[in-house]
Structure formats: structure tokens, C-alpha cells
Structure 1
Amino acid sequence: MTVQTQLQQALASAQSVEASLTQFSLETQNQQAKQTFQQLAQQQKNIVQQLQTRYDQVLQEEPQFNQNQ
């Protein structure tokens, strides 16, 4: 498994977690839980952004990965 594939999988997983946390925050009626889920979703969004930045860097540093897209 290439670094590109691993990063793509990690990014997809991180995005899924962010979406789930956001959905939980929308569905709960408990305000404390809602706030917790919103905070966690924001933290996860930051992780997604960091992974995306690293993925973009890998594509620039390793041009052969661009051929696989």
C-alpha cells in the first residue's frame, strides 16, 4: 500500500468521523452533549485539514503519485 493510498484512507476516515460528530450534535437534545459533539467535530475538522495539507504535500513531492489519480 502506497503512502498516497494510506493518506487517502486516513483522510476519508477522518472526514467520516467529522460527519458523524456533526450529525450527533444536530440530533441530540442535550445541550451539554451538543456542545461536546460540536467541539469534537471542530477538532476533527482541524485534523482533516492537516491530513489534506500533508496529502497535497506528498503529491507535490512525489509526482509519480499524480499519475494514479
Structure 2
Amino acid sequence: MNKHCCEDMAYHANFKCKIHENPYECPDKVIIFDKKDNEYGLIIHDGGSSSIEILFCPWCGVKL
């Protein structure tokens, strides 16, 4: 598990849904974390697989 800036970010970045295999289909999955590039994004729940990169944590405000 990667070290994230706060408990909330760690929870959301590592969240695994028991119902939806695809994170873009789960309404409870709001953050996507790319371990390879160490980037975070907000998932856009519009039926596709898009996200918007975020540079600051939405919970604690730390630069990511």
C-alpha cells in the first residue's frame, strides 16, 4: 500500500468495491490513484472511464 497524505485520501485511493469490479462503475469510488505515475484523479461518473487529475488533496489540502 502506498503512503498517502492523510487517512481520508488513503481510504478513497485504496477503496475496493465489493459489487463493482470496474472502479468507474462504482458510485462510491471517487478517487483513482495511478501507482505507476503517482497521480490522483477525481472519477467522472458519466458512464465512461474519465477522471480529472488533482494536484491537492480534497480533504487535507496537501500538495500531491
TM-score norm. by structure 2 comes to: 0.30
Larger RCO: Structure 1 or Structure 2 (Cα < 8 Å, ≥ 6 residues apart)? 1
- Greater share of strand residues, 1 or 2? 2
- Greater share of helix residues, 1 or 2? 1
**Bigger CA radius of gyration:** 1
